[in-house]
Amino acid sequence: MHRTKRFRSRIVSFWLFFLLSAGICVSEPLSVSVRLTERLLPGEFDSGLYRGPSDLPFAEMDAGPVPELSCRSAVLIDDETGTLLFVKHGDEVIPPASMTKLVSLHLIYREIEEGRLSIDQEIIVPDFADFRSAPPRSSLMFLQAGQSVRLIDLMRGLALPSGNDAAVLVADLIAGSTPAYVAMMNDEMRRLGFSSIFFEDSSGYSEHNRATALDFARFARFYVDTHPESLKELHSLTSFSYPKTENENGVKAVYGSVTQPNHNSLVGRHPWVDGLKTGYIDESGYNVALTAETRGRRLIAVLMGGPGENSRDGDLYRVIDGTNLLSYGFYRFTVIIPDLPKLPPFSVIGGKERSVEVAVPLPDAQLLFTEELGELHCFFEAEAAVAAPVRKGEELGHLYLTAGDRLLASYPVRAAASVEKAGFFEQIFRALFR
C-alpha cells in the first residue's frame, strides 16, 4: 500500500512538473563586462555594393550639446558601426571640388588590385598632362611632358598637393580620355549607391560636380575600409616632392624639385588625423574629408561649404571645425564589444537528455555615450524549460543588452545540440525514479 502511495505521489509530481514548466522565465539583470574595440576590420558589403542612407543608423539618443560649426554642411560617422553621430544639412548639394580626387584614387587602387596597373610602373608624361596646360588657379604636382613618374608618385600628387595635372594623366591612363574616365567615375558612384555624387570633370575644378556631405562621408568610409593601405601610403604623409632627378628623363624641370605640404593641415598637427582630402573652388567654399583614429576607434567626417575670405582664413575654419567635430565624436561616444555572460543549460521535458547546452552569437560592436559604460546590463527571457524534440539551432529565447533604460541589442539564444524525444515509458520511468 505504501508503495502504491509513493507511485501516485510520483505521478502527481510528474504532471505538476509539466504544468509548472509552462511559465515564462525572465532573469534578473546579469553581469556584463565590456572591452573597448581594438583595431576593427572593414565591413563586408553584399555583392560589392555599399548600402544606402537607410542602412546608416542615426544615434537615436539625446547627444546633449553639439558643436557649433561654421561650414554649411557636415556629417560625422563612426566607422565600425556606421552610426551617424552628427549631421548638419547633410543633404545640401555642394560641389566637392578636389575631394573628387578620392574617387580617382579608389579607381586606381581597383585597377592595381585587378592587375591592370602596377603601383611601381613608370609613366611618361604626355603633352596634354603638362602642368602648363592646366586651367588657371589649378593646384598642381608640376608634371612636365617627357618626364617620367611612378604610379605611386602620381597617386601622391593627387592626394597631397591635389594636382589637376595628375588628374588629367590618370584619366588617360585608365580610360584613354577624360570624358570616358568621368563616365567611369559616375558609373562607379551609381554602382555603389551614392546617388547624389556626380562629376563633369575628374579633377574637381568644375562647379557642376555635385555631392552631399552625407553621400560623400559614406563614400569616404567605403574608401578607408576598402583601401586602408592608402592612409599610410598617401594621406598621412605631410609633404610631397616632385620631380626628382630620376624623373627628369632628359627634360630639365622648370622650377626644379618642388616640395609641397599636404593640403590637409590637420595631418601632422592633430595626433589622431591620418587623412583624407581637402577641396576648394569659389562655388563650393572650403571642403574637407577627414578621418582620425585613436585607441583603435576610427571616425569619418566630411565638412563642406566652409567660409573664408582667402585660403589662410578658409584653412583656419576647416581646422577649427574639423577639430571640434572629431573631438565631439571621440569624447561624447565610445564603442565597445560586450562580453556576454555564459548561460546555463536549458532543462528539456520529455527528452532523451535532461538538458541542452545553448549558444549565443558573437556580439557586434555597440556605440554608447561614454557615461553609459557603467550602466550595461543583460536580461535573459525564455521558457523555463523546453519540450523535446529540440533541434540544433532552434531559437529558445533572447538575451537583451541594455544601457540604462535603452535597449542596445537583442541576441537569439539557440540550442547548441539536438535532443530527441524519449519514448513514453522512458519518460514515465524518469519521472518516477529521478
Nearest Cα neighbor of 302 from 212, 185, 231 is 212
Amino acid at 316: L
264, 98 contact by CB (below 8 A): no
**Sheet with 376-383: strands ordered across:** 24-26, 376-383, 395-403, 406-415, 358-359
Length of the chain: 434
**DSSP run (H or E) holding 255:** none
Binding residue ranges: 277
DSSP state of 64: -
Q: How far apart are CA 153 and CA 158, in angstroms?
A: 9
Binding residue ranges for substrate: 277
- Which one of the listed residues 70, 101, 206, 265 is annotated catalytic? 101
C-alpha cell at 255: 622650377
Nearest Cα neighbor of 218 from 185, 192, 184, 198 is 192
Q: Give burial (CB, 10 Å; 0-12/13-18/19+) of 304.
A: buried
DSSP state of 373: G
Q: How far apart are CA 200 and CA 131, in angstroms?
A: 20
Residue for grid cell 555603389: 192
Q: How far apart are CA 187 and CA 301, in angstroms?
A: 24
- Which one of the listed residues 98, 139, 202, 206 is annotated catalytic? 98
Amino acid at 47: S
- Which one of the listed residues 139, 162, 202, 230 is annotated catalytic? 162
Residue 410 annotated as catalytic: no
Residue 98 annotated as catalytic: yes
Catalytic site residues? Answer: 98, 101, 162
